[in-house]
Structure 1
Amino acid sequence: MKRFNTYILIILLVISGKTFAQQTPADKQSEPVTIVGATAHLGNGEVIENSLIIFEDGVITEVIAANLTKRQNPGKIINAKGKHVYPGFIAPNSTLGLVEIAAVKATEDDDEMGEMLPNVRSLIAYNAESKIVESMRPNGVLLGQIVPRGGLISGTSSIVQFDAWNWEDAVVKENDGLHINWPDAFRRGRWWRDEEPGLKANKEYQENIQKLSDFFTSSKAYLAGERDYKNLPYLAMDSVFNGNKKVFVHVNGEKEIMDVIQFKKDHALKGLVIVGGYDALGVAKELKSNDIPVLVNRPHSTPNKAYEDYDYPYKLAKLLQDAGVLVALESSGQMERMNTRNLPFYAGTVAAFGMDKEEALKLITSNTAKILGIDDKYGSLEKGKSATLFISEGDALDMRTNILSHAFIDGREVSLETHQTELWKRYSKKYKDQESK
């Protein structure tokens, strides 16, 4: 009986392993790759019809019009005539790889206990084997900023690519930014505390800002002193003060954004970024003059206020860009990890509501790369940059035509198969077989 149970266990493990095991990451690029004939959307606003793109050892060596050369092209040749080439899309402010199933507590690793946690690093909790992460690639989302949640200071994010065995292999930029959850000046009554319903001033607002300010001041004093004891949160702030780590402030209201700008000045912070910025348009002039970019929340949402235009979330990115603010898109919110795969379609929605399509593309490529500080290697198709790109059958910002045939991360051709595509093929075949009977 024991032997029988052992056999059953082995069979179950084999089946589950086949069903749930991580795909093997792609091997390092071994030969040059030449893509010929595609319409190349460079990610910087430019388009090259009938393009020639060559990359070797993971780096782009040529991006030109195909009719400018008659030479013999090296390595593997991909005929992409009639197709489109794009730089890999970048998903900022994401919890991909930190939570797999929200209803299962054991799979959640995006929030630590405490208020001031700059020393918490999301990278070491990142699960490269996540099935959700895998599902990003078929839509062209190949890079992401992995961000912790919770507390006043959530911790430190890192940027990864989406085809790796583990976080060590995945990391593109380690400890890129500190994340602050700015308190709300107004909030609704909390029923679990027997508070009256409705919006009212947050009595703890100034107190929480003072907590943040005191923490920054104490950290700076500690770092400037003799350090006769080790304080990990204070030590983690060193890279913030020297400018090596950006500060991402998650905030939406006008008053709160103005207070963030003052906080930036008070503590001489470099590289501050607004995340969310729902009411940022009202203070766009101040954001521009202080060189503060905004990661705008996904446009597929309804207006927060009754007097706002129905399409305000759709056109907010364009309005901020028109005001001179550097803008990119992020996708936090309800079901944020699954919805991150819709990043290109968020940009498509912005284009449908007034923004030029190549400018909308920048919201998920070069603008994002600039804001995250990785534009030296990623975000656009340019000579000397990483060969992180994909080929689509059609317009990648349209869900009807964004059908990928090839995708590359640092020159490695990655798989476009996922658990979802396997199920799609299985059940498509099932219904086709039934129709043919």
Structure 2
Amino acid sequence: MSKINLYIMMLFLVIAGNSTAQQTPAPAQSQPITIVGATAHVGNGKVIKNSLIIIENGKITELIEANLTKRQYPGKVINAEGKHVYPGFIAPNTTLGLVEIAAVKATDDEDEMGEILPNIRSLIAYNAESKIVESMRPNGVLLGQIVPRGGMVSGTSSIVQFDAWNWEDAAVKVDDGLHINWPDSFKRGRWWRGEDPGLKPNKEYEEDIQKLSDFFAASKAYLNGSRELKNLPYLAMEEVFKGSKKVYVHVDGEKEILDLIEFKIRLELKNIVIVGGYDALDAAKELKANNIPVLVNRPHSTPNNAYEDYDKPYKLAKLLHDEGVLVGLESSGQMERMNTRNLPFYAGTVAAFGMDKEDALKLITSNNAKILGIDKNYGTLEEGKSATLFISEGDALDMRTNILSHAFIDGREISLETHQTELWKRYSNKYKAQESK
């Protein structure tokens, strides 16, 4: 076989193996939907047993106790007695839809060349037909913040819902925030350059902060000037200075967090959010005083330092909450796109280590909605808000009982089938078939 024919055959196999497309997005809601009898977890700490939820035109129009009313229910009626209803879970700081296969460069669109790129927009690179994105829905993760990576200023994120034809249909909040990777005051030597791999002070730390300060100052000067020559990075900063675009700063150390707070005050930045915040508890008083929320990294990890409690990652969100800091959960890190589906179980782990279960639920619903600025329509089950919710057979924060029977995004009943559920159904009877022979 010639090399050309071999390449053609390999290409055919690749195309055939990936021919199954995403589930077709659900059509707009065409009739009222009434959910009766479920325990409704509102997402703000409140629980309504034996609830009645009515959905019309994509909105929740009624949410009360079912035993308070005796009338004919409108439209399609779902008997959810013994089940639980939750607002759709929200995943901040994710690269879902930007990378499909990490080892295949053509499917990796999470980073751009350059250090300071506020004008880079993640939304236009978002792949709404990603097979990884559709695998979020069976666990109740229905919305996410799509974030670029790399550089000192990575670019601008947007918030999407996970049932759409394309990025235009998916968009919930466009260009919601700017993402900055704050420099580390300590760093390890680069062994590939012959440097000592041990941890040592970063001699370039102050220089890097000054570089960031200079960029903010230059942007402000440009925006206050004639703007005679178009400068896309500077123009992208306009909404930041107005306060309508949040600044998400990816930072972990206590010194770095305190330096960031000083940076915020000096530059009069209005909406700062810390992403990661591993040592945020050491600066909790300053964070609360400056009204800075924290998106804590997933708790399923080990401590960074040998002298720390083994369960520090598990209880960090609770401890910050106890200090009065607004806290949400995010899931970045190793295999982050796949692991984002575990978002409800991260909240369940926080609950297992001392946080009230409904407060832990808030970490991935109302708190995340507030931090991302979409709480007007999402994050809780309330009359007038988007009917983005799901029905679970049991506790949605427990992987054993988080079994969805129905899910809705803006009132549209979405498919819970994915390529993974199809494979599960295909192979679940494999050994039964062999035994029958």
Normalising by structure 1, we get a TM-score of 0.96
1:279-428 equivalences in 2 (<5 Å)? 279-428=279-428
Measure how far apart 1:192 and its partner are: 1.6
User: Can you list the C-alpha shifts for 1:139-178, whole angstroms capped at 9, x where unaligned?
Assistant: 0000000000001000000000000000000000000000
Which whole-Å CA distance do the structure 2 matches of 1:360 and 1:18 have between them?
38
Which whole-Å CA distance do the structure 1 matches of 2:334 and 2:154 have between them?
19
> Is the partner of 2:256 in helix, strand or coil?
helix
Measure how far apart 1:22 and its partner are: 2.2
Which whole-Å CA distance do the structure 2 matches of 1:74 and 1:163 have between them?
26
Q: Counterpart of 1:106 in structure 2: which amino acid?
A: A
> Is the partner of 1:273 in helix, strand or coil?
strand
Give 1:144's aligned residue: 144
User: Can you list the C-alpha shifts for 1:337-394, whole angstroms capped at 9, x where unaligned?
Assistant: 0000000000000000000000000000000000000000000000000000000000
Give 1:117's aligned residue: 117
Give 2:50's aligned residue: 50
Query: Do 2:128 and 2:166's aligned partners in 1 also have CA atoms closer than 8 Å?
Result: yes
Which whole-Å CA distance do the structure 2 matches of 1:55 and 1:18 have between them?
36
Give 1:176's aligned residue: 176
User: Can you list the C-alpha shifts for 1:248-285, whole angstroms capped at 9, x where unaligned?
Assistant: 00000000000110110111111100000000000000
Which whole-Å CA distance do the structure 1 matches of 2:208 and 2:42 have between them?
44
- Cα separation, partners in 2 of 1:18 and 1:197, compared to 1, 3 Å: closer
Which whole-Å CA distance do the structure 2 matches of 1:276 and 1:414 have between them?
32
Which whole-Å CA distance do the structure 2 matches of 1:16 and 1:410 have between them?
34
Q: Counterpart of 2:297 in structure 1: which amino acid?
A: N
Which whole-Å CA distance do the structure 1 matches of 2:14 and 2:280 have between them?
52
Which whole-Å CA distance do the structure 2 matches of 1:436 and 1:257 have between them?
63
Q: Counterpart of 1:251 in structure 2: which amino acid?
A: V
User: Can you list the C-alpha shifts for 1:204-257, whole angstroms capped at 9, x where unaligned?
Assistant: 111110010000000000000011100000000000000110000000000000
Q: Counterpart of 2:395 in structure 1: which amino acid?
A: D
Q: Counterpart of 1:293 in structure 2: which amino acid?
A: P
Measure how far apart 1:291 and its partner are: 0.2
Give 1:108's aligned residue: 108
Percent identity between the two aligned chains: 82
> Is the partner of 1:177 in helix, strand or coil?
strand
Measure how far apart 1:13 and its partner are: 9.2
Give 1:94's aligned residue: 94
Give 1:204's aligned residue: 204
Which whole-Å CA distance do the structure 1 matches of 2:17 and 2:85 have between them?
35
- Cα separation, partners in 2 of 1:14 and 1:198, compared to 1, 3 Å: closer
- Cα separation, partners in 2 of 1:161 and 1:258, compared to 1, 3 Å: same
1:121-270 equivalences in 2 (<5 Å)? 121-270=121-270
> Is the partner of 2:429 in helix, strand or coil?
helix
Which whole-Å CA distance do the structure 2 matches of 1:197 and 1:53 have between them?
58
Which whole-Å CA distance do the structure 2 matches of 1:321 and 1:261 have between them?
19
Unaligned runs of 5+ residues in structure 2 are none
Root mean square deviation of aligned Cα: 1.6
Measure how far apart 1:429 and its partner are: 1.6
Q: Counterpart of 2:280 in structure 1: which amino acid?
A: A
Q: Counterpart of 2:229 in structure 1: which amino acid?
A: Y
Unaligned runs of 5+ residues in structure 1 are none
